[in-house]
């Protein structure tokens, strides 16, 4: 008998797995660990030995700690990643750095739920056992909204020709978040690191490399510059650096760390 779900509907009645999933769990309970691992690695739902993600999640949640559970978990996380928009085209080129962040957020969120469930039953995972694909789609939708809103917010500060607006120039001035008198204080560095993590991906990468004293551009072909690493012009790098600094300044001002 499979373990019942604990999550309740608004009318206080319990959630149930679909009958086909319950039957699948009963059938799989009789197979060996190695056979379950093999079948968990099948991708095509048309394969006769394919395991639904709902059933696979059930076994991940209920397996005893050890190598078997780890292997099932790895295969389940691969499915989560595959349900999120691909980040590379057919030629292997990166489509969107924001897309990468979205995929990582969805996977990380699911990992957090698994870890929470292993510490103490987390009923938030119950919905994934009812309709796995719909649950991941909802997570993807939420991550999309957060990341693209953040990405588009930075675009509002840029003119049509890519120049930094007067608003940004005025906000930045000579400001350098790493040159602040507060930088030696732990709480400032923690707030700064958090603010950097919230930047759009291109800006975040520029700021991280700037922090490591990597030059924006260099006439020496042997020197790895930010422009060379990111494949962007010097003008574009400076534009996004200044936009990032303006965002960091505003964030730290709200925290009372910039005056």
pLDDT digits (tens, 9 = 90+) for 5-49: 999 888 888 889 999 999 999 999 999 999 999 999 998 889 999
Sign of CA dihedral 144, 82, 193, 113: positive
Please check whether residue 24 is in contact with residue 55, taking contact to mean a CB–CB distance below 8 angstroms.
Answer: yes
Q: Which three-class secondary structure state does DSSP give residue 255? A: coil
- Which whole number is the average pLDDT over 251-259? 69
How does the average pLDDT of the chain come out, rounded?
83
Query: Of the ranges 113-117, 135-139, 150-154, 235-239, which one carries the lowest mean pLDDT score?
Result: 150-154
CA distances to 42, 44, 51, 120 from 48, in Å = 10, 9, 9, 34
Task: Write down the pLDDT at residue 159.
Answer: 44
Please check whether residue 100 is in contact with residue 94, taking contact to mean a CB–CB distance below 8 angstroms.
Answer: yes
pLDDT band at 188 (very low <50, low <70, confident <90, very high): confident
């Amino acid at each position: 008998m499979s373990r019942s779900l604990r999550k309740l509907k608004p009318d206080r009645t319990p959630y149930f797995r679909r009958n086909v999933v319950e039957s699948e769990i009963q059938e799989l309970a009789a197979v060996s660990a190695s056979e379950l691992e093999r079948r968990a690695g099948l991708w095509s739902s048309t394969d006769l030995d394919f395991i639904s993600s709902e059933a696979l999640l059930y076994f991940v949640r209920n397996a005893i700690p050890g190598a078997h559970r780890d292997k099932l978990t790895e295969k389940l996380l691969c499915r989560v990643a595959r349900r999120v928009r691909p980040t590379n085209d057919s030629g292997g080129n990166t489509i969107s750095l924001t897309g990468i962040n979205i995929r990582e957020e969805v996977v990380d969120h699911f990992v957090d739920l698994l870890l929470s469930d292993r510490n103490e039953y987390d009923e938030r995972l119950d919905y994934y056992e009812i309709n796995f694909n719909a649950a991941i789609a909802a997570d993807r939708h939420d991550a999309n909204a957060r990341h693209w809103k953040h990405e588009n917010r930075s675009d509002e500060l840029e003119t049509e020709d890519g120049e930094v607006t007067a608003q940004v120039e005025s906000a930045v001035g000579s400001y350098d978040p790493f040159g602040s008198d507060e930088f030696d204080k732990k709480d400032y560095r923690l707030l700064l690191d958090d603010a950097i993590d919230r930047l759009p991906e291109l800006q975040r990468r520029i700021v991280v490399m700037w922090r490591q004293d990597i030059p924006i551009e260099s006439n020496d072909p042997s020197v790895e510059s930010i422009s060379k690493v990111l494949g962007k012009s010097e003008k574009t790098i400076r534009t996004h650096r200044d936009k990032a600094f303006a965002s960091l300044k505003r964030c730290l001002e709200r925290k009372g760390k910039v005056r």
